[in-house]
Amino acid sequence: MIALGRMVSGLALWAAAFVVLYSLHGLGCALGWAQVEMFGITRAKAILLGSWIVLIAAQLVLLVWLLRRRETQLDRIGIAIGWIGLAATIVTGVPILAISSCV
């Protein structure tokens, strides 16, 4: 179970990141963060951007940890999944850059 968990950890972290971004977004819009200014952008956008960057960093840390062991094919699949998790976290968060928050 632990070996399997390690293998899919990259995507499991992506799933967590996705849930965090989506719930922060819903919460922010409900609490009116889109109307409050923060660092020259809306608070909604600032908080989402910040969380996104932290989540990407977390994916990177995980990837470095996965890269440390590459003995078996299971390890190598885990590394590939780590890369996928990183890429997926970046791509699913990209809309934060371009899209207005609560419309």
Partner 1 sequence: MKALRLHRDLTRIWESEPGWRGVFSSVSHTDLGKRFIVAAAVFFGIGGVLAMLIRAQLATPGSAFAGPEVYGQIFTMHGSIMMFLFAIPMLEGLAIYLLPKILGSRDLAYPRLTALGWWCYLFGGTIMILALLGGVAPDAGWFLYPPLSGKEYTPGVNSDVWLLGITFVEISAMCAAIEIVVTILKFRAANMSLTKMPIMAWYLLATAGMMVFGFPPLILGSILLEVERAFGWPFFQPELGGSPLLWQHLFWLFGHPEVYIIFLPAAGALSTIIPVMSRTPLIGYGAIVTAVMALAFLSFGLWVHHMFTTGIPHLALGFFSAASVLVAIPTAVQIFAWIGTIWAGRPKFTLPMYYIVGFFVVFVLGGLTGVMLAIVPFDQQAHDTAFVTAHLHYVLVGGFVFPMLAAAYYWMPHATGRTRVMRLGIAAFWLIFIGFNLTFLHMHLTGLLGMPRRVYTYPVEAGWTWLNLISSVGSFLQAFGFGLFAIDIALQRRIGNRSERDPWEAETLEWAMPIPPPQYNFASLPTIDSREPLTRDRALGADLAGGRGLLGRAVGNRRETLAVDMVTGTPEHVAILPGPSLVPLVTAMVIGGFFLSMLLSLYWLAPVFIVGTAIMVWRWAATTGTIRDPGPIEAGEGLVLPTSFAVGGSTAYWGSVLAAAANGTLFASLIFGYLFLRVVAPNWPPPGEYGLYLLEPGLITIGAILALVFARFGRHNFVRAKVGAVATALCLALSAAVLLVSGLRHLPGPTEHAFAAVSWMLTGYAIFSAMVGALIQLFASRRVASGHASAERPHGLRIAAVWSDYGAVVAIVVVWLLALSSAAL
Partner 2 sequence: MSTIDPAGPSAARVADLWWWMLGGSALLAVLVFVLLFIALFRKGVADHETPERKRVWIGWLGLAMPVGVLMVLLAFALWVGERNLPTGSAARTIDVTAYNYGWEFCDENGNCAEDVLRIPAGRAVDLDITSRDVIHSLWIPRLAGKMDAIPGQVNRLRIEASAPGTYEAVCAEYCGVGHADHRFVVEVYASDGVAEAAGAAR
Which partner in partner 1, partner 2, none is near 73 (CB below 5 to 8 A by kind)? partner 1
What region does 38 belong to: left with phi over 0, alpha with psi -120 to 50, or beta? beta
Name the one range near partner 1 by CB under 8 A: 35-43, 61-69, 74-82. 74-82
Which residue from 43, 31, 87, 46 is spatially nearest to 63, judged by alpha carbons? 87
Cα dihedral across residues 88, 91, 94, 96: positive or negative: negative
100 touches partner 2 by CB under 8 A: yes
Footprint of partner 1 (CB under 8 A) = 1, 3-4, 7-8, 11-12, 14-15, 18, 21-23, 25-27, 29-30, 48, 72-74, 76-77, 80-81, 84, 88, 91-96, 98-103
